[in-house]
Structure 1
């Protein structure tokens, strides 16, 4: 019998989108929930008992904060599109792992709430069939920004690097020099201690299991 490894899911850098718009900034919980029942038929003898499970129906349960001031907010989207069918994508880890797609039937959420508290509410959106599991496609990271963009030649500056697909990063380099200390915060943000280097501009690159980032950010030693 094989020993199956586990990679526990922690929801902390998620994508949830409807159509072409992403709403993860407004959502605190997303759960695709199946619901099924058992049916039983009995004959005229005690042994003539048969059971079977019905096919599961699915719903996407969302908890989100109400926002009625932003024109294209999730609250407005659900309110304005009641009954519409929309293509939805749920990616539990934005830069790695699989995603799930489904056609959801829009239901508006509640309006209002308790005084002196955020107006958080929940809604259940029916799914047309079972969500589809879409396998992840491994790609190299992208690097778009290093901040601060300058530091001393002795190194030691804590630099925030922004980009994508940092999950599983193995190496961060400033030019040809490998940083000895870095921490991946999310798939799009990592923090690295700049190594010592000669004066001048150095490209900051990130490497994962697929390869070296195709883009880089400039960091200048002075």
Structure 2
């Protein structure tokens, strides 16, 4: 029996699209919810009881801020397209991981609210079928910076590299030379030891199974 690892979901930098437009800036909560019930048949004897679950029906439960001023706001989209069918895609983490796609049937959200409070509205949109799980596409690493930009030609400097897609990294290079060693601290952090080489600019690059980063961190030997 295998011990299955876990990568807990936390909604962060979420992408939520209705058709071609994204509305994550207007939404504070989104949940694709399955709904099912139990059906029981009882015969004339105590032991002739049979129970089965119905197939789940789904809804997209969305809490959004009311915005009636912006022409293509989510409030207006729901209000003006009642009964229409629109594809919705939810990507819980914009930088990585899978996404979910489902076609929803539009229901308008509420209008108005309490005085001196934000006009927030929660709407339950019926979904056609079960959301489709779309696997996250593997991509090359992305480097956003490093904590050191210079080091001696003798090498040996420990450099903290920041970015994303570092999980599973296979190499870190300073110019064309590989780091003498590196440690993947997290998907966004790598610690690498600079190798010895001649003076000059040797940008830092990270490689994974997909390829080498096209973004680099500047690093110079002196």
CA RMSD of aligned residues (A): 3.7
SS of 1:123's partner is strand
Q: Higher Cα Rg: structure 1 or 2?
A: 2
Q: In structure 2, how many angstroms separate the alpha carbons of the residues matched to 1:108 and 1:33?
A: 18
* 1:106 to partner: Cα distance: 0.8
1:111–1:3: structure 2 CA closer, same or farther, 3 Å change rule? same
Which ranges in structure 1 are unaligned for 5 or more consecutive residues? none
Q: Is the 8 A contact 2:86 2:104 kept in 1?
A: yes
* 1:114 to partner: Cα distance: 2.2
TM-score, normalised on structure 1? Answer: 0.73
Q: Deviations over 1:86-107 (max 9, x none)?
A: 1111111222221111110011
SS of 1:129's partner is strand
Q: Deviations over 1:126-181 (max 9, x none)?
A: 000111111122111456x87xxxx9868xxx9997xxx64748588785797x99
Residue aligning to 2:63: 63
Residue aligning to 1:73: 73
Residue aligning to 1:92: 92
Q: Is the 8 A contact 1:26 1:65 kept in 2?
A: yes
Residue aligning to 2:127: 127
SS of 1:64's partner is strand
Residue aligning to 1:216: 215
Residue aligning to 1:11: 11
Q: In structure 2, how many angstroms separate the alpha carbons of the residues matched to 1:159 and 1:6?
A: 25
* 1:64 to partner: Cα distance: 1.3
1:135-150 superposed matches below 5 A: 135-141=135-141
Q: In structure 1, how many angstroms separate the alpha carbons of the residues matched to 2:66 and 2:168?
A: 36
SS of 2:75's partner is helix
Q: In structure 2, how many angstroms separate the alpha carbons of the residues matched to 1:31 and 1:80?
A: 22
SS of 1:75's partner is helix
1:174–1:63: structure 2 CA closer, same or farther, 3 Å change rule? farther
1:66–1:5: structure 2 CA closer, same or farther, 3 Å change rule? same
* 1:118 to partner: Cα distance: 2.1
1:137–1:209: structure 2 CA closer, same or farther, 3 Å change rule? same
Q: What count of residue pairs does the alignment treat as equivalent?
A: 211
Q: Is the 8 A contact 2:204 2:219 kept in 1?
A: no
1:62–1:169: structure 2 CA closer, same or farther, 3 Å change rule? farther
1:160-171 superposed matches below 5 A: 166=165, 168=167
Which ranges in structure 2 are unaligned for 5 or more consecutive residues? 152-159
Q: Is the 8 A contact 1:60 1:127 kept in 2?
A: yes
Q: Is the 8 A contact 1:199 1:220 kept in 2?
A: no
SS of 2:55's partner is coil
SS of 2:72's partner is coil
Q: Is the 8 A contact 1:95 1:167 kept in 2?
A: no
